Structure 1
């Protein structure tokens, strides 16, 4: 019940008391010509009716009590509303914080993936390496260092050591595998360049692409090689 309706009830109660009193007075005046017995009965009836009506002070007390109850109810409702708003704000803040955290984690993952992809890509393209008529092992290794990411070079080197000993013209007489990577058949290295038979840079580029695509990196390929003695 709102404060306005409570106060309206109290006013209505007071008005009822006044109206009943007026009615009783009129009734008493109208009976003045009746006999004594009737007047006694009317007086007794009037007293009984008035006894049933709260005194004016009682009405004021009830009004004050109801008003106080309405105030308490209103204050309670306001407190509950504030609590609900605070809880809603807390939940929204928590949701915003979680969203920011997830966005930051996703950005970190994407950044890491990009860095890994960059580290797997050739540092120097084979086309930028000067072509020679022949190459020593040291020269081939120097070319590889220019093309292979630093954190992957040792793994790459381990595989080449086992496969060809850094001889870019190494040929397996039984299988026909060819070159630094011992590609089988060797002609598949044409995807990196038509000079795959004579250019170690072309072979290195093909080998790096193969290791990245199949094992995610030269180190991934080396891990597989150690477990299987092939890659």
Structure 2
């Protein structure tokens, strides 16, 4: 019975693991931050529910549509680690904190100045690291184990730092303009 899972299969044999290849692939995707892509692929298979033509949208749906910036439809882990993808992730996280689009604009200006939204940005003189230029970089470990390479982890830590020290990104940007650091 156990031989069934370890027998050779064309193109799917993984001798280093005793698990079924499909299970291993899903586990691999979830471990490496591609859950967004996996969820997007799964939800594409579910047919939409038909609503009556006379039904009005809910108040919460209308309010959310007007106040929240749009998040990308599908953003893989690799795409999120580009400067453009990192800004998209930050836009969603800023909205989740209840901050306005103005706060997002201040955040973009602040982190453009600090790191140009590069995940691996390093300051050779101060040893600050990442998108928010954490000093020292390993402080971001508190937001996740992949702090060196994951934009979402760095952004999560940076927003927490800004909220704890300055309350809002605009106040952090103001401090940065007047002092040269934040």
TM-score, scaled to structure 2: 0.53
- CA RMSD, 1 decimal: 1.9
Q: Does 2:126 correspond to 1:193?
A: no
- Counterpart position of 1:202: 153
Deviations 1:12-46 (A, max 9, x none): xxxxxxxxxxxxxxxxxxxxxxxxxxxxxxxxxxx
Alpha-carbon offset, residue 137 of structure 1: 1.6
Paired residue total = 104
- Counterpart position of 1:139: 85
Alpha-carbon offset, residue 131 of structure 1: 3.0
Q: Distance in 1 between matches of 2:147 and 2:130?
A: 8
**1:1-231 equivalent positions in 2, closer than 5 A:** 131-132=77-78, 135-149=81-95, 150-231=101-182
Q: Secondary structure at the match of 1:158?
A: helix
Alpha-carbon offset, residue 133 of structure 1: 8.0
Give unmatched runs, 5+ long, in structure 1. 1-122, 124-128
Give unmatched runs, 5+ long, in structure 2. 1-68, 70-74, 96-100
Is the contact made by 2:82 and 2:119 (CA closer than 8 Å) also made in structure 1? no
Alpha-carbon offset, residue 173 of structure 1: 1.6
Is the contact made by 2:80 and 2:86 (CA closer than 8 Å) also made in structure 1? no
Alpha-carbon offset, residue 132 of structure 1: 2.9
Deviations 1:133-189 (A, max 9, x none): 873221111111111133310111111000001111101122211000111100001
Is the contact made by 2:121 and 2:131 (CA closer than 8 Å) also made in structure 1? yes
Deviations 1:72-102 (A, max 9, x none): xxxxxxxxxxxxxxxxxxxxxxxxxxxxxxx
Alpha-carbon offset, residue 194 of structure 1: 1.0
Find the structure with the greater CA-based Rg.
1
Q: Distance in 1 between matches of 2:173 and 2:80?
A: 28
* More off after superposition, 135-144 vs 194-203: 135-144
From the two aligned structures, give the one with the greater helix fraction: 1
